[in-house]
Amino acid sequence: MDKNTFTGLFLIMAIIAGSIYFLKPSEADLKKEREVQHQDSLKKAGAAATAAAKNTAKFDTSKTAPVDSALLKMPFGAASVGKEDFVTIENKELLIKLSTKGGKVSSVELKNYKTFSKQPLVLFSGDNNQFGLKFAAGVANINTNNYYFTPSAKALTVAEKDSGSVTMRLSYSPTQYIDYVYSLKGDGFKLGLTIKPTGLDAVIANSSTYNLNWAASLHKQEKDMKQERQYANVYYYNTDGDVEYLSETKDDQKSINDKKMAWVAFKQHFFSNVLIAKNSIAKTDISVATDVNDTTDVRQMKADLSLTRAADGSVPLEFYFGPNRFNTLKDQGHDLDKLVNLGWGPLKYINRFAVLPVFNFLNKFNWNYGLIILVLTVLLKLVLSPLTYKSYLSMAKMRVLKPEMDEIKTKVGEDNPTLLQQEYLKLYKKAGVNPLGGCLPLVIQMPIVIAFFKFFPSLFELRGESFLWMHDLSTYDSVIKFAPVAFLGGVNHVSLMCLLMTISTLIYTYFNNQISGATGQMKYIGYITPLVFLFTLNSYPAGLNYYYFLANMFTFLQQYLIKFMVDDKKIHAQIQENKKKPEDTKKKKSGFSAKMEEMMRQQQQVQANKNKKS
């Protein structure tokens, strides 16, 4: 390297060294720079964390609560945490989902039925459905509804002639557990459930019963929520063979300790959920409530039951999830057919042993149900025709006597009604006429008329069946719709069949007054009842109003035919002959007539005493 080159390199290095020395930052400047860089790194880390959180919220919606180590040490502690999963079991009729949380029936769908709006018919589902054993284990109070079970299979489909089962296990230890064994046949509406505890005698307090909490909110299935709530209730059947139920119109609850129950049912209008205890229920606490603002669920039902254990400690149970069709319920045994409310007292027997057998016989012909109701009405009118004839004849006699009754009224005057009625009774006695002859046949027919009032609303067969303009005979036909009218109970429609029934009843009342010769207030009272029925039956099943309409039409026809058989001139002649007969040859006075005459005499005496005092 020559001298000039060396000198150049030395100068460059000297310049660089000088620059480093003179441009070197102070300690204060270095500290300030480090603080700036630290703040920048914190901002970048925060932004990254925020992005990660957003990413997690977008793709991972599961939330896992921190596990309490103390909880795990409690009885059944390991089963207190988990993830809810579902096991589907099904046959020809039922699609059932079992939940691993609680090991319970989470939802039930009836595969061959639809709601009024043509949606899948699910009896119940969701968090309001509970089913759990309640017992003490050590210092802990256990409700199995809140614990996680392990299923023996993920799904089960049972063919028509087969049967199968799925076990849901709640583990205390590998050798100590509670099994819910669900069994299902390929056909039918029943689901078997056997509760089997194993190795838990030292864990669970020894008792002859298990306390079970069962609750469900039943989903709306039909057109009219108000009507469906009217028929939805908790029914219970004791081992004495009696069926009872809670209030139909308000929230209600009841405790039953004096009788053992065979089954408890959460009943809707046309479908039921029944829990049958094969070893009876020792104690029962039941309740029903209605959330009037709820447009999805009909009523909320609860039952706390003390289930009797078998000798081996198990509890054999059975569910019925199905329609309230009388014959279907009867086939299940356990008197489940008593879930169909056919009325009280004599009405129940008329419907069960007279109307229902005739209906079932006609149903075998596979006719449209509108035609079946028509034939049923004709048969009923034929059976009651002797009473109708007797009623018409009695009213005709009263009509013939009316001129003579008017003469008596003119003679006695209306100022003394007691004396007037007494003179009327004397006339009836001489003429051989019973003034109640026209009413008694109608009174005898009244239980049958009322029996149909209970029969048609409870008739499952009418559900979804159409006739003429009526799309569903089990509910009202709304030909006119309008905004709800508060003072009419929220009515928002007019039923055409109810309107026709009302018009026919008014016409019937008019002609009936012509036959009986009714005058004064009695002439107009008959018009009030049909108008009341117009508002009362407007939301009732079209099938019921159709029957009443047909009954009126056939009554017109009967009276028209009877009119040719009854001659007023012959009746008048017969009455005059009766008047000529001596008193001792006439029929013995009835007890009722004697009491009426005695009452009239007493009233006349009271009136006479008042006149003397005045």
386 confidence band (pLDDT: 50, 70, 90) = confident
pLDDT band at 63 (very low <50, low <70, confident <90, very high): very low
pLDDT exceeds cutoff 70 at 293:
yes
* SS3 assignment, position 235: strand
In the structure, what pLDDT confidence band is assigned to residue 19 with cuts at 50, 70 and 90?
Answer: very low
Question: What's the pLDDT score for residue 152?
Answer: 94
492 vs 35, which has greater pLDDT? 492
Higher pLDDT, 388 or 322: 322
Q: What is the pLDDT of residue 609?
A: 60
Q: Is the pLDDT of residue 16 over 60?
A: no
- Of 72-81, 240-249, 539-548, minimum mean pLDDT range: 72-81
Instruction: With a cut of 80, say whether residue 49 has pLDDT above it.
Output: no
Burial, 242: exposed, middle or buried (Cβ in 10 Å; 0-12, 13-18, 19+)?
exposed
The DSSP element (H or E) to which 288 belongs, if any, is strand 271-289
pLDDT at 470: 94
Between 608 and 190, the more confident residue is 190
**Which pLDDT value is given to residue 23?**
44
For 126-140, how does the pLDDT look when each residue is reduced to its tens digit (9 = 90+)?
888 999 999 988 778
* 107-124: pLDDT as tens digits: 999 999 999 999 999 999
pLDDT higher than 80, residue 190? yes
Tell which wins on pLDDT, 19 or 583.
583
Per-residue model confidence (pLDDT) at position 9: 40
- Per-residue pLDDT tens for 244-265? 999 988 999 999 998 999 999 9
Residue 473: Cβ-neighbour burial (10 angstroms; 0-12, 13-18, 19+)? buried
Position 398 scores a pLDDT of 78
Residues in the chain: 614
pLDDT at 149: 96
Q: d(Cα 409, Cα 415) in Å, to the nearest integer?
A: 10
Q: What is the share, in percent, of the chain residues with pLDDT greater than 90?
A: 47
What pLDDT was estimated at residue 177? 93
Range ranked top by mean pLDDT from 330-334, 478-482, 483-487: 330-334
Maximal CA-CA distance, the chain: 179
Tokens of 486: 């508060």
As beta bridge partners, residue 148 has 101
> What distances in angstroms separate CA 510 from CA 505, 519, 526, 528, one per listed residue?
9, 12, 8, 12
pTM to 2 decimals? 0.78
**Residue range 206-258, pLDDT digits in tens:** 777 889 999 999 999 999 998 999 999 999 999 888 899 999 889 999 999 98
Average pLDDT, the chain: 81
Which pLDDT does position 48 carry in this prediction? 34
**Token pair of 205 as six digits:** 């307090």
- Of all residues in the chain, the percent with pLDDT exceeding 70 is 79
Q: Is the pLDDT of residue 61 over 60?
A: no
Give the pLDDT band of residue 438 (cuts 50, 70, 90): low
CB 243 within 8 Å of CB 235: yes
441: nearest Cα among 559, 538, 529, 532: 559
pLDDT at 76 over 70: yes
DSSP state of 152: S
pLDDT in the model for residue 87: 96
Under the banding of pLDDT at 50, 70 and 90, the label for residue 565 is confident
pLDDT value of position 482: 81
- pLDDT digit string, tens, across residues 397-437: 877 777 877 787 777 777 777 777 777 787 777 777 777 76
In terms of average pLDDT, the best of 263-272, 345-354, 414-423, 556-565 is: 263-272
Look-up of token digits 């390297």? 1
What mean pLDDT comes out for the span 605-612?
A: 58
Q: How wide is the angle at C-alpha 253 spanned by C-alphas 143 and 337, nearest 5°? A: 95
Arithmetic mean of pLDDT, 362-368: 94
Amino acid at the residue 210: Y
